[in-house]
Structure 1
Amino acid sequence: MAGQFEAIPGGGAAVALDGVEVSILRSLAVQLLELIGPGDEPAEGADPLAALFNEGPSEPPADPAVARLFPNAYGDEDDEQREYSSEFRRFTENDLRSRKREDGIAVVRTLDALTADGEDGVVLELTADDCLHWLGALNDLRLTIGTRLEVTDEDEGGDLYRLPDSDPRKPMVMAYLWLGALQETLVETLMP
């Protein structure tokens, strides 16, 4: 089980993690939450139903990593596509941010709930619902790190795999690869 998720009875998954891995995962999830931003809670005494109909932003985020998490729905090749994307964003981005925030919070909470299982680390057990939150958060973390590393769909970062240990990007590349392996094994545990 070390380093990869395995299915457990009841539709969940488990993975063995050491203390450093728990710390890294928690730190990355917290950084992701900071990147996504705080939730838009209704003001005290405000109608919560009215808050559901608040419009979101209409412009794409300036930060490339955030823009990768909240991409344009229709591209931006022409004015008409930009207008459609703007409208779509206005009515969907707040909900998407909320879901991504819930995924990140679920990761932090499950990691915080772990208790040490001896010196070798802990076994993280996820329910089926937790697995879905973790899949979302792992995907968002990989998208964010991949954007920062300028990984493209065409090369999937081939040059990054051969970085010397002295390169300051090396730890991010290692995190990117590790998160990908966790994500892949979690997906495999959920497949029938």
Structure 2
Amino acid sequence: MGGFQRHRRSKLIIANFSGFEADLLRSLAGQLVELLRNEAAVPRDDSADPFEAMFDFSGPTQAPEDPVLARLFPTAYPADEEAAAEFRRFTEGTLRDGKADAAITIIDTLEEAGLPTELAEEGLVIDVELDEPTAETWMRSFTDLRLALATRLGVEEGDEAFWYALPDDDARAQAHDIYEWVGYLQETLVQALTD
């Protein structure tokens, strides 16, 4: 996989994924959606009046206990507990929905490009074509995926030597390789968007 690039004629952002790579991306995005939706502090009532729902500010007021969610939704006002709780109450639900929707966009795009809902067969190549708004959505979701992976792994700035010293068969090394791969995808996507 060579990363993302801008097609010269159509101006679309394109990439080719093996079936394995596309399955892996779909799985990562699906896990992120599950975390965002299953850990929501306040369940949403889909039967509510849509107009009323626009003014429903009954979101969570406490920081999430899960370290990944705490990283994705940091406390806005660490020195002011009341302001932080109010800010979280008014914003976290919408932010969760936006992050989940962005991850769902990755899943939908891969499946629309031909990724089967079952495990992809060997030799399958998925050609992805993104317009700029969809590419920007993928880029935002890559940021969330990388933050989630880094938090779960305990990646810190300047700790590359530790990760590269791990044996190839160490599960942590393999997970770190995935973290770096998502970073590579994000980097090539940013470059394609600026070309």
Q: Tell me the TM-score normalized by structure 2.
A: 0.86
Q: Judging changes above 3 Å, is the alpha-carbon distance between structure 1 residues 22 and 43 closer, same or farther for their aligned structure 2 residues?
A: closer
Q: CA deviation at 1:120?
A: 5.6
Match of 2:65 in 1: 62
Give the conservation status (yes or no) of the 8 Å contact 1:161–1:173. Answer: no
One-letter identity of the residue aligned with 2:185? L
Q: Deviations over 1:22-50 (max 9, x none)?
A: 11000111000001116855432x21121
Q: CA deviation at 1:66?
A: 1.0
Q: Judging changes above 3 Å, is the alpha-carbon distance between structure 1 residues 49 and 24 closer, same or farther for their aligned structure 2 residues?
A: same
Task: Give the superposed CA RMSD.
Answer: 2.0
One-letter identity of the residue aligned with 1:50? E
Q: CA deviation at 1:166?
A: 2.8
Match of 2:14 in 1: 14
Match of 2:74 in 1: 71
Match status 1:131 vs 2:135: yes
> What does 1:104-183 align with in structure 2 at a 5 Å threshold?
104-115=103-114, 119=123, 121-152=125-156, 154-155=157-158, 157-183=160-186
Give the conservation status (yes or no) of the 8 Å contact 2:12–2:129. Answer: yes
- Once structures 1 and 2 are overlaid, which stretch shifts more, 3-12 or 181-190? 3-12
One-letter identity of the residue aligned with 1:84? A
Q: Aligned partners of 1:151, 1:139: CA distance in 2, in Å?
A: 14
> What does 1:28-107 align with in structure 2 at a 5 Å threshold?
28-37=28-37, 41-44=44-47, 46-55=48-57, 56-74=59-77, 76=78, 78=79, 80=80, 82-107=81-106
1:16 is paired with a residue whose SS is strand
Q: Judging changes above 3 Å, is the alpha-carbon distance between structure 1 residues 142 and 156 closer, same or farther for their aligned structure 2 residues?
A: farther
2:68 is paired with a residue whose SS is helix
- The 4+ residue runs of structure 1 with deviation greater than 6 A are none
How many residues align? The count is 184
Q: Judging changes above 3 Å, is the alpha-carbon distance between structure 1 residues 95 and 157 closer, same or farther for their aligned structure 2 residues?
A: farther
Gaps spanning 5+ residues in structure 1: where? none
One-letter identity of the residue aligned with 2:177? M
One-letter identity of the residue aligned with 1:134? W
Q: Aligned partners of 2:164, 2:86: CA distance in 1, in Å?
A: 39
Q: CA deviation at 1:190?
A: 1.0
1:37 is paired with a residue whose SS is helix
Give the conservation status (yes or no) of the 8 Å contact 1:42–1:48. Answer: no
**Percentage of identical aligned residues:** 39
Match for residue 188 of structure 2 among 182, 185, 190: 185
Q: Deviations over 1:77-127 (max 9, x none)?
A: x4x2x22221111101111011101101100000111237x9461221111
2:171 is paired with a residue whose SS is coil
Q: Judging changes above 3 Å, is the alpha-carbon distance between structure 1 residues 113 and 123 closer, same or farther for their aligned structure 2 residues?
A: same
Gaps spanning 5+ residues in structure 2: where? 116-121
